Amino acid sequence: MNRSLFKLRFVWLAAALALVSIACPVRGAALDGGQYSVNIRLTRGDDDSLHLIAKERMLTLTTGSFKLNGKEYKVQQSQNINIPECPALRTSNESFVLRSPGENKPYYERVPLKCLAGGKGRGPVPGLLVDGSVQIKRADGSNQLLQPGVDYVIDKVLGCIDRVDTSKIPEGTPVKLSYSVCLRRIDTLLLDEEGHAHLMSGSYSQFAPVALTVPPNLVALANVYAPRLSQPIEASDIMPIWDRDLEDPVINELNENVLDGFKAKLKAGKSVTVAFLGDSVTDGCYATEPSRMFPQQFITRLQAKYPKCQIKAKKLALGGSTSSLMFGRFYKELLPSKPDLVIVEFVNDLSLSQKVIERNYTRFFNQVKATGADIIVCLPHTVNPTLHGGDNWLSVASLPYYSILTNMAPRFKVALANVGGRWVNARYEGLSPSLLLADNMNHPNDRGHEVYAEELMKLFN
């Protein structure tokens, strides 16, 4: 998954321009004056519902009622809720090297550090750099102020800062860079038992902010992706939270009894080994700390459920890889140790042909099953649709990989962790799929890694 970013410039640009069109769909209709009526339906089959009207950064919750878990909630008076502005984050005198652009210059060398999801060496997130905020001075003690358009140019989409070829400033000159990046947050609209609305403001982030935990005795109506700076709220920023069963009965039926061997060892309190195999996602790319990586999260949760067992973990993962490379390495490096459970994640396999997928996984399933190990395949998260030429998240979920593995699973008695299903249905949890990605492209953030762990644990609950 860690492809050379300079080769994907057209993809990054397309993604930045497509972010609005691929955002979480909202049940609503535009009204006069740029307002939006957003239907918040909390239970299926309920005729009553609440509505939100958004204008600028003001939400109006209209009167109405609904039932949740057998209890009726009533909003008897319309209420206005203001969404506070999101400030900009200012960075001063960051060390930077001014270079001319070139085919072999990766983005992370041309973009301010605060615009890189995951920090140095990672990918830029589109639209973070505040227009007009950049100031560059020479770092030689003269504090000479460089001139935009004369000494450097700025890519306003990706935030790349490049030397102008005609500049008198030499190539590779160290400079001091000051700039501002946009921050956003997820606010949650809550309702108490008396029908009064409350706004719980989340923490700021320039990447993918995380929604806060809802306090007891309050009902979450919607998450609001607070717009950058003082920009007005758009319909796609309002993400209703619906009470909906997200379980896939087809996947659940496929998973029945396929992990009985491994579960029997857990129940008997035996020592077991879990092997993880995958690409940069399994390697924990973009997780903020090792404990937030999904393999570690899963092992921690499984150990807590079976405290009498000694659960060991092994991992073989490589960024940018596919099953075509890693299955061969697995046969040599991990399979001889005879793990009790093998967990496979290859979001990069979404780009493989049906013939290659079937060939790779048929041999893999046969080889692993022959050792007596059980297998879980993660149906992976959906990446930004622009990476596969699509225009919405469902277009990614319809790629052949998902149906091929779903069809192969019962034949080889393999369990499936339906991460992709959670991703495309994120709107029912008051999120959009992009808010589970650290870079708005293909790498999960901490919450995304948590979804992987949750879907794996469902197989043991």
Q: H-helix or E-strand containing 316? A: strand 311-317
Task: Look at residue 196 and tell me if it is in a domain.
Answer: yes
Tell me, yes or no, whether 414 and 286 share the same domain.
Answer: yes
CA triple 30-34-39, angle to 5 deg = 35
CATH of the domain at 391: 3.40.50.1110
One domain, residues 291 and 340: yes
The owner of tokens 């992990």 is 259
Q: Which of 124, 181, 164 is nearest to 439 (CA)?
A: 124
Task: Return the SS3 of 14.
Answer: helix
Q: Among 136, 161, 182, identify where a domain stops.
A: 182
Measured CA to CA, the distance from residue 108 to residue 263 in angstroms comes to 44
The three-class DSSP label of residue 254 is: helix
Same domain, 294 and 345: yes
Measure the CA–CA gap between 148 and 162, rounded to whole angstroms.
Answer: 10
Cα-trace Rg, the chain:
24
Please say if the pLDDT value at position 390 is more than 80.
yes
Using CA atoms, how far apart are residues 247 and 240, in angstroms rounded to an integer? Answer: 19
**5 domain residue, yes or no:** no
311 and 407 co-located in one domain:
yes
CB 194 within 8 A of CB 123: no
pLDDT digits 0-9 by tens, 285-319: 989 899 999 999 999 999 999 999 999 999 999 99
Strand partners, 148: 152
Q: Which domain holds residue 225?
A: 31-85+184-240
pLDDT at 48: 57
Asked if residue 140 belongs to a domain, the reply is: yes
Rounded Cα gap, residues 140 and 176, in angstroms: 9
Asked if the model's pLDDT at residue 210 lies above 60, the reply is: yes
Domain membership flag for residue 20: no
163 SS3 class: strand
Domains in the chain: how many in total? 3
In the prediction, which pLDDT does 22 show?
30
pLDDT tens per residue, range 363-378 = 999 999 999 999 999 9
- Partner residues linked to 96 by β-bridges: 175
- Integer Cα distance of 270 and 268 in angstroms: 6
Tokens of 417: 């962790």
Which of 350, 223, 206, 344 shows the shortest CA–CA distance to 275? 344
Same domain for 188 and 98: no
| Residues 403 and 454 placed together within one structural domain of the fold | yes
- Taking alpha carbons only, the member of 222, 216, 143 closest to residue 186 is 222
* Phi, psi of 356, deg, nearest 5: -70, -40
**Same domain for 100 and 143:** yes
Segment 114-150, tens digit of pLDDT: 988 866 667 788 888 999 999 999 998 888 999 999 9
Q: Is 325 exposed, middle or buried (0-12, 13-18, 19+ CB in 10 A)?
A: middle
- Asked if the structure places residue 370 within a domain, the reply is yes
- 63 and 192 part of one domain: yes
pTM summary value: 0.82
Let me know whether 199 and 318 are in one domain.
Answer: no
Mean pLDDT, the chain, integer? 86
Residue at which a domain ends, from 167, 182, 197: 182
Say yes or no: 257 and 394 in one domain: yes
State the alpha helices, DSSP H only, in 306-439: 323-333, 354-369, 393-397, 400-412, 419-424
Per-residue burial over 25-44, b = 16 or more CB atoms within 10 Å of its CB, e = otherwise: ebbbeeeeeebbbbebbbee
Is 166 part of a structural domain of the chain?
yes
Whether residue 257 sits in one domain with residue 211: no
Of 182, 204, 222, which residue is a domain's last?
A: 182
- Only one residue has tokens 């319809």, namely 398
DSSP 170-239: PTTEEEEEEEEEE-BEEEEEEE-TTS-EEEE----BSS---PPPPPTT-EEEEEEEEPSBTPPP-GGGEE
Instruction: Tell me, yes or no, whether 129 and 73 share the same domain.
Output: no
Residue 402 lies in a domain: yes
35: in domain: yes
Judge whether residue 322 has pLDDT over 80. Answer: yes
